[in-house]
Structure 1
Amino acid sequence: MDRDRIPRPPGTGVAQPPRPGRSWPPLRTAAATAVVLVAVIGLCVGLTSGEDGSLSWPWPREGQTSVLVEGTGDTGATGDTGDTGDTGDTGDTGDVATDGAQRPVPIASVTKVMTAYVILRDRPLRAGEAGPDITVDQPAADESGSGSESSVRVRAGQRLSERHVLELMLIPSGNNIARLLARWDAGSQEAFVAKMNRAAHDLGMRHTTYSGASGIESTTTSTSADQLKLARRVMRNEVFRAIVAKPSTTVPGVPGPIRNTNTLLGTAGVIGLKTGSSTPAGGALMWAATAPDGAGHDRLILGVVLHQRAGSSPQEGLRAALDSSRTLIEAVRRWVSTTTSGTR
């Protein structure tokens, strides 16, 4: 199953801050400088200390996590409005940290971020633009009433704008909508998945395999570091940013209001991004937040948390991913608040 709904409220080198008891890995000179800075600032903001005296972020106790702090003033407020071409990372400044073994694991509905990336690359939209109409096909309508996966109720022949269909995929996490978009763009889900995997390769996501557009398949696997590369790229798209920041939406002809599965929105500077949950994947969250630094600039911070409470219910896994992400986001924001453009 892939259910994201839970009750309310109930690059250069990669620095790897350790869990308690873990030693620092060898680092290139530039990366080592960044790590020293993190350690010094960590003393000031109260990051936890391991038994061996080494500092550590408040990482989740399980799974794997990656975090990126973009350069001063880079909040994603400017950049691509439609073009998210697969040209790979452009080398923007930013401090990256990871924790946990970077081995491919199921990512559930976080998959839909790549689906949206490919759609907006192939069929770009500009700010405020609705885009072409998409006709709901019979498979998407038939899958509306599925009790075994997250879906959105639509009817065959219904016409919805591209932007509204993207909202229905990203906000309530409609699996049937993701597959509808795949067929609309490429003619079949299989052809679309080939595009997804090519895009992942072009973005340098070497440990990622997509086998569907929705994420329900446990054979869709990735790492937090790979998904962070995707998060960094897709957040440059103005339309994507606007959609994932919405706590709810209404779509003509669809029962609503439709609420976002990401319950962290609006707290701790969170402005997105995408939840995921299934029994094989556990809980997953790709998140984006802004944080003011000591120089009065806003920075964009991005993170990916995967494989939380894998094997439990989707609801329990997602709750764990949300809770652990909130703790981590708050710690990163405290760190950013002590920095200035002169201390990078």
Structure 2
Amino acid sequence: MPNPELEEQAASESPETPASEPESTASGAAAPEAESAEPPASTDEPIEPTDKRFRLRPRLRPRLRLRTLALTLGLVLVLGGAGLAAVFAAHGFDDPPAPDLKQVTPAYHDFAASLPWPNDGETALWAQGIGSLGTCGDQTPVPIASVAKVMTAYVVLKDHPLTDGESGPDILVDQQAALESFSRDESSAPVRAGQRLSERTLLELMLVPSANNVARLLARWDAGTQDAFVAEMNAAAVSLGMKDTTYTDPSGLDSSTRSTAVDQLQLAKVALTDPTLLALTAEPMTQVPDDPDVLSNTDALLGADGVVGGKTGSSTPAGGALMWAAHRTLDGEDHLVLGVVLHQASGTSPEQGLSSALLVSRRLVEAMD
């Protein structure tokens, strides 16, 4: 590929030929000018280097040209290799980090070690009846985006339990939730002020299309204020042993809501083994009553490879995040496997982050059968 810098440099070094200067004759001498100049005192006098007509480049000997070419190619390869290595490292193409398998039962140690652990972010896996399948990543608190809504649903259902088929009490949609439904900066559901929607419907709207305005509405309904509800969320986290988790809002939109994959797996063990909450996350779609728009689940893994529930999260600070539940056959027996992946492709767009979280999760799920 032509190098503009090198071409510009070569052009500046080339001999210039002003239009007023005479062309050379076949013998190489200058043609006579209109006004003859004084001849030099001696033909042995050196040519003045400032005369641009005679600033000719020396021709490289063939051997020297080959050596120069070899050195140039070598430099390109070295610099190119270093550049490619930097690109690969920046995008996670280097060797994957070693998973932490200290908590894995010896019978499943080799199996866990062979899983396609993500190169990025944090991961934690657990199987019902087996225990830990290992963790990967630094396990330092990171933004978790809408995965926070699993704790919101857990607290609401702890305070207002629902049994199979039960819709729960009707909840009045306030003006704040209605106004927030028009926000273009976050996910929302088109609820209207004055509507009365059941607890189950609102939980679906929060968990399936991941409506932030509904998460805040449920928080106000449950605890009176959002701040009071957030205090309940943090108290629940402490009771579950989630020592590296801080909730600052019920939706996860606030990037100060942070946790680790290990902590979120602690929540998954109680949230996604609850039949009601698991079934809510497994709904492929939902809608606001009397509204024609169908709202699809943001979890594209549902229904494939035994995936029976979960919750997505994505934002630029959080990257992509996913808490999932899947039935897998391990050693000839069916087990409910829970997984959490956080901070995938953080700093990119929410769409890129979520795509990455879904991809690495799918690879883990597929490798377990």
Question: What is the aligned-residue identity percentage?
Answer: 56
When normalised by structure 2's length, the TM-score is 0.71
CA distance in 2, matches of 1:204, 1:228: 11
Identify the residue that residue 128 of structure 2 maps to in structure 1: 70
Paired residue type of 2:115: W
Q: Is the 8 A contact 1:20 1:56 kept in 2?
A: no
Identify the residue that residue 159 of structure 2 maps to in structure 1: 122
Identify the residue that residue 38 of structure 1 maps to in structure 2: 109
Identify the residue that residue 302 of structure 2 maps to in structure 1: 265
Q: Return the offset for 1:266.
A: 0.7
Is residue 60 from structure 1 mapped to residue 131 from structure 2 by the alignment? Answer: no
Unaligned runs of 5+ in 1: 1-18, 43-54, 72-92, 335-344
Report the secondary structure of 2:363's partner residue. Answer: helix
> Aligned Cα RMSD in Å?
1.7
Report the secondary structure of 2:181's partner residue. Answer: helix
Call closer, same or farther: CA 1:244–1:208 in 2, change over 3 Å: same
When normalised by structure 1's length, the TM-score is 0.76
Q: How does 1:162-201 map to 2 (within 5 A)?
A: 162-201=199-238
Call closer, same or farther: CA 1:23–1:126 in 2, change over 3 Å: closer
Q: Is the 8 A contact 1:245 1:272 kept in 2?
A: yes
Unaligned runs of 5+ in 2: 1-94
Q: Return the offset for 1:255.
A: 3.6
Is residue 318 from structure 1 mapped to residue 354 from structure 2 by the alignment? Answer: yes
Q: How does 1:281-300 map to 2 (within 5 A)?
A: 281-295=318-332, 297-300=333-336
How many residues of Structure 1 are paired with residues of Structure 2 in the alignment? 275
CA distance in 1, matches of 2:137, 2:260: 10
Q: Return the offset for 1:20.
A: 5.0
Q: Is the 8 A contact 1:64 1:101 kept in 2?
A: yes
Q: How does 1:75-114 map to 2 (within 5 A)?
A: 93-114=130-151
CA distance in 1, matches of 2:221, 2:308: 28
Deviations 1:85-124 (A, max 9, x none): xxxxxxxx52331000010000000000000000000000
Runs of 4+ with deviation above 2 angstroms: 19-25, 35-38, 253-256, 292-295
Paired residue type of 1:67: L
Call closer, same or farther: CA 1:143–1:22 in 2, change over 3 Å: closer
Identify the residue that residue 205 of structure 1 maps to in structure 2: 242
Paired residue type of 2:119: R
Report the secondary structure of 2:311's partner residue. Answer: strand
Call closer, same or farther: CA 1:23–1:274 in 2, change over 3 Å: closer
